[in-house]
Amino acid sequence: MSWQIINNQAVDNSKRFTSFKITTRIEERLTKISEDHVVTSKTCDWTKLVNDNYSWFLVEPNTCVAPSTVYGGELWWSTDTTIVYDGKGAITQELLGSPLIHG
């Protein structure tokens, strides 16, 4: 993940977020159309990192990786990520999940 100021502005080192957390999940399904079940997940608290750096480029990438699990080819697998940040009220962003993997 990376971020930067969209327009040229004065550097603003003030506090931007009271909370900035990312949760990544590895999910499985019994069939292609059944409901996802979370197998493993990890939540990363990036509040301090985001507040301390008004921009962050991919020179030093930040990752939030769910712990690995044993792959079973008979199931359908995917990953999803949720970002929840709070500056002036909590906002939740669900990122587009990965394609399903099977076999």
Maximum Cα–Cα distance for the chain, whole Å?
54
Backbone dihedral angles phi then psi of residue 48, each to the nearest 5 degrees: -65, -45
Count of the separate structural domains present in the chain: 1
DSSP category for residue 14 = S
In a domain, 58, yes or no: yes
Q: Is residue 73 domain-resident?
A: yes
Residue 11 lies in a domain: no
**Structural domain contains residue 5:** no
Within a domain: residue 27? yes
In a domain, 13, yes or no: no
Domain housing 45: 19-102
Q: What is the pLDDT of residues 33-52, one digit of tens each?
A: 999 999 999 999 988 888 88
> Is 8 a domain residue?
no
The first and second tokens of residue 21, run together, are 């957390």
| pLDDT tens track, the chain, 103 positions | 666 666 666 666 667 788 999 999 999 999 999 999 999 999 999 888 888 877 766 556 678 899 999 999 999 999 999 999 987 788 999 988 899 999 8
| C-beta of residue 20 within 8 angstroms of C-beta of residue 93 | no
